[in-house]
């Protein structure tokens, strides 16, 4: 007998997919900021022209800070949902998944805090100091981005390995059990 089983709530799915879009945009705008200065990395001209990323610091910063508010609000909604629903226990997941999903939440919080520390290093001097100073906070922010860039493909591969039913549950909210 085929049975439809609810797996993911609407709020969990919406915040998940919003994070996909927001993280991609945050990484893109972060690249505009990072690659605007040749001191950090030399980009081949053909590559920079093809991706239209050359010398766009102000635009990158404007987009980054604008998108950041969506990322923060979405994250707060997700955290509130986890706490209120009891899903923060990740009881349906194995140990590795629990560690990975907890780490991603910590990375997101750390990315926001380190981002604020480098955005307003004087106004938020206490935060910048806690993180080890401006350069340390900047490195930590970059490190969190690297963590997301590593996590995302691994997460996608694991979802693909788990099969269509698993992917469908994050889109439609249910799985089909036979």
Q: How far, in Å, CA of 84 to CA of 11, rounded? A: 12
| Poorest-pLDDT segment among 7-21, 30-44, 60-74, 123-137 | 30-44
pLDDT band for position 74 (cuts 50, 70, 90): very high
Average pLDDT, the chain: 91
Residue 42 has pLDDT above 80, yes or no: no
Q: Write out pLDDT tens, residues 84-125.
A: 998 888 888 889 999 999 999 999 999 999 999 999 999 999
pTM score of the predicted model: 0.87
What was the pLDDT predicted at 46?
A: 83
Residue 178 has pLDDT above 70, yes or no: yes
**What is the average per-residue pLDDT within 6-14?**
93
Helix (H) or strand (E) segment spanning residue 174:
strand 174-177
Token reading at 71: 């990322």
What was the pLDDT predicted at 41?
A: 66
Q: Could you tell me the sign of the dihedral formed by the alpha carbons of 92, 12, 75, 28, in that order?
A: positive
What was the pLDDT predicted at 71?
A: 97
CATH numeric code, 3-177: 1.20.950.20
pLDDT band for position 40 (cuts 50, 70, 90): low
**What is the average per-residue pLDDT within 39-59?**
77
Backbone phi, then psi, for 3, in 5-degree steps? -135, 135
Residues 105/148, Cβ–Cβ less than 8 Å = no
What was the pLDDT predicted at 125?
A: 97
Q: Which residues contact 2 (CB under 8 A, 6 or more apart)?
A: 176, 177, 178
Domain boundaries, the chain: 3-177
| 22 burial via Cβ count (<10 Å: 0-12, 13-18, 19+) | buried
| 79 burial via Cβ count (<10 Å: 0-12, 13-18, 19+) | middle
**What is the average per-residue pLDDT within 9-24?**
96
């Amino acid at each position: 007998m085929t049975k439809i089983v609810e797996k993911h709530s609407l709020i969990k799915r919406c915040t998940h997919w919003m994070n996909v879009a927001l993280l991609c945009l945050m990484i893109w705008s972060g690249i505009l900021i990072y690659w605007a200065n040749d001191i950090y990395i030399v980009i081949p001209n053909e590559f920079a022209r093809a991706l239209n990323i050359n010398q766009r610091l102000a635009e990158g910063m404007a987009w980054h800070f604008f998108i950041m508010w969506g990322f923060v609000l979405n994250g707060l909604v997700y955290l509130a949902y986890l706490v209120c629903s009891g899903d923060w226990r990740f009881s349906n997941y194995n140990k590795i998944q629990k560690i990975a999903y907890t780490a991603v939440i910590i990375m997101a919080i750390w990315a926001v805090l380190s981002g604020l520390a480098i955005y307003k290093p004087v106004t938020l001097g206490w935060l910048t100091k806690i993180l080890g100073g401006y350069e340390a906070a900047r490195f930590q922010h970059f490190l969190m981005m690297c963590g997301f860039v590593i996590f995302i493909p691994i997460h996608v591969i694991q979802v693909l390995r788990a099969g269509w039913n698993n992917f469908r549950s994050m889109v439609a909210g249910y799985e089909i059990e036979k």
